[in-house]
Amino acid sequence: MINLGISILIGLVAFAVFAVIFSPFAAIVPFVIAFLAAYIVLTNRAMKQVGAISAQAQKEMQAQRFDKAIETFKRGFALEKRQLLVGPLMHANLGTLLYAKGDFAAARPHLEKSNRWGPVTRTMLGANYAVLRAMLACDHFRNRKYDEMRATFETAVKQGKKDGLIWSLYAYCLSKIGDREGAMKVLGRAADANPNDEKIKANQLALQNNKRMKMKAYTPQFYQFHIEPPPPEMGGAGRRVVWQRR
């Protein structure tokens, strides 16, 4: 927000100068040019700082120093008031990391705040937005907030229409709470959006035959949503599952 304010101020200075020398009408274009130039420069400067923070956090994660990665991402909030959208981006990173780490209570507010700017956030985060919403939906599932779970999963599949795992997670959670019919409808929508996805077809067939859905096909990503503990070959229930980007 600070960068936006500074850019507007620079634009107004340009407007005032040209309005005095020429006319208010002639000052409109200089205002726009000055505003955009200032905002682009200031935004690039801020995003370079964000990039440096993210790169450092990634190094910490690769070294399995997750607590340090969390603290590194938190430093990004110092830029939240300076640059638009930095806040949701930092919340998204922290929410994902804390959730994958298994600290659900700490992850929850970050997952919620990552959606602060709505459509703008969806565009900025792209496919990761669907993952964030699915994590929050799974958190609602664990806390038996099933209405919130359904609503949040709907936003997840809307963004991740081509992501079979997100659809299958939605259906799986519905089947776990006894809503087999709802799960079938979700998989039907998933199949319409992904007609060549064999994993979705296999899960449709499993539900039709009153069998459990085959979520192991989505290993290891499925276990990063903490709906079920990983199998023994992945370290069992005691193993910490760390988020892997697909």
Q: Extract the tokens encoding 119.
A: 């459509």
Q: What tens digit of pLDDT does each residue of 174-220 get?
A: 999 999 999 999 999 999 999 999 999 999 999 999 999 989 899 88
Q: Considering Cα of 86, then 88, then 94, then 97, what sign does the dihedral take?
A: negative
Residue 224: Cβ within 10 Å count: 21
Tell me the pTM: 0.85
Could you report the per-residue pLDDT of 104-119, keeping only the tens digit for each? 999 999 999 988 777 7
Q: Distance of CA 226 to CAs 67, 98, 114, 128, 194, Å?
A: 19, 12, 20, 17, 25
Q: What is the CATH number of domain 126-246?
A: 1.25.40.10
Close Cβ partners of 191 (under 8 Å, ≥ 6 residues apart): 197, 200, 201, 204
Averaged confidence pLDDT in the chain: 90
Extract the tokens encoding 23: 């006319």
17-59: pLDDT as tens digits: 999 999 999 999 999 999 999 999 999 999 999 999 999 998 9
pLDDT, one tens digit per residue, over 127-162 is 789 999 999 999 999 999 999 999 999 999 999 999
DSSP H stretches of helix in the chain? 2-21, 28-62, 66-75, 86-101, 104-113, 119-125, 127-142, 146-159, 164-176, 180-193, 198-208
Helix, strand, or coil here: 14?
A: helix
Domain coordinates in residue numbering, the chain = 1-63, 126-246
Q: What pLDDT, on the 0 to 100 scale, is given for residue 234?
A: 65
